[in-house]
Amino acid sequence: MTPPEPTSVAASTLEIDRSHSEVAFQVRHLFGKVRGRFTDFSGEIHYDESHPENSRVEAVVQAVSVDTAEPDRDKHLRTGDFFEVEKYPTLQFRSISVQPKAGAFEVTGDLTIHGVTKRITFPATLLGSGRDAYGAEKVGFEAEFTINRKDFDLHWNAPLETGGFLVGNEVKVILTVQGKRIG
């Protein structure tokens, strides 16, 4: 198999390719960390390679698709103690600015979780661009940042006999996104 050939993606609209992307998270639980992901998400990235400041992104995650590889925990995460998926079925992000920063980007936008919208800024890295084995133009990005779940009214917790609480407040978000050019 030959490697993908580089392409120019100046001012392209990219559809997030769910089969080659991941929306994951990690949170402290008791004396370890729980890792999870969302399996149902979609979005578009308008990526302007020549003028990154003209780029933007919109994404929607279906809260019911939370998956921590533990069905009972996932069921609990869908309840009113956490995501309350019946009332708040989606998590959403809409950028308001993208700024080039030392070989990467600083993305600022509005993140909505559990009906609460907060402005966040996070670093994103371009992983590369090229044509896949089928000739489709693809662009890859990754980002990693931390949010405080309490900022989004996700307060449920349980005190431990030894002090402290069962679930940490800081949630690491890990995004690996591959977009397919659609325009």
Query: What is this structure's pTM?
Result: 0.89
pLDDT digits (tens, 9 = 90+) for 83-133: 999 999 999 999 999 999 987 999 999 999 999 999 999 999 999 999 999
pLDDT at 183: 74
Predicted pLDDT at 178: 97
* pLDDT, average across residues 72-89: 96
Q: What integer pLDDT is reported at residue 10 of this predicted model?
A: 64
Which has the closest alpha carbon to 57: 111, 18, 129, 3? Answer: 111
Lowest-confidence segment of 2-11, 46-55, 95-104, 162-171 by average pLDDT: 2-11
| pLDDT at 8 (0 to 100) | 47
Is it the case that residue 9 has pLDDT exceeding 70? no
pLDDT 10s digits, 31-69: 789 999 999 999 999 999 899 999 999 999 999 999 999
The dihedral sign for the CA sequence 84, 172, 20, 73: negative
Residue 114: the pLDDT is 97
pLDDT at 39: 98
At 137 the pLDDT is 94
- Domains of the chain in start order, with CATH, are 12-181 (2.40.128.110)
127-152 residue pLDDT tens:
999 999 999 999 999 999 999 999 99
List Cβ neighbours of 49 (8 Å cut-off, separation of 6 or more).
8, 9, 10, 11, 12, 129
Average pLDDT over residues 167-171: 89
Is there a contact between 164 and 31 (Cβ–Cβ < 8 Å)?
no
Please report the pLDDT score of residue 7 as a whole number. 47
In the three-class reduction of DSSP (H, G, I as helix; E, B as strand; rest coil), residue 6 is classed as: coil
Q: What pLDDT is recorded for position 180? A: 96
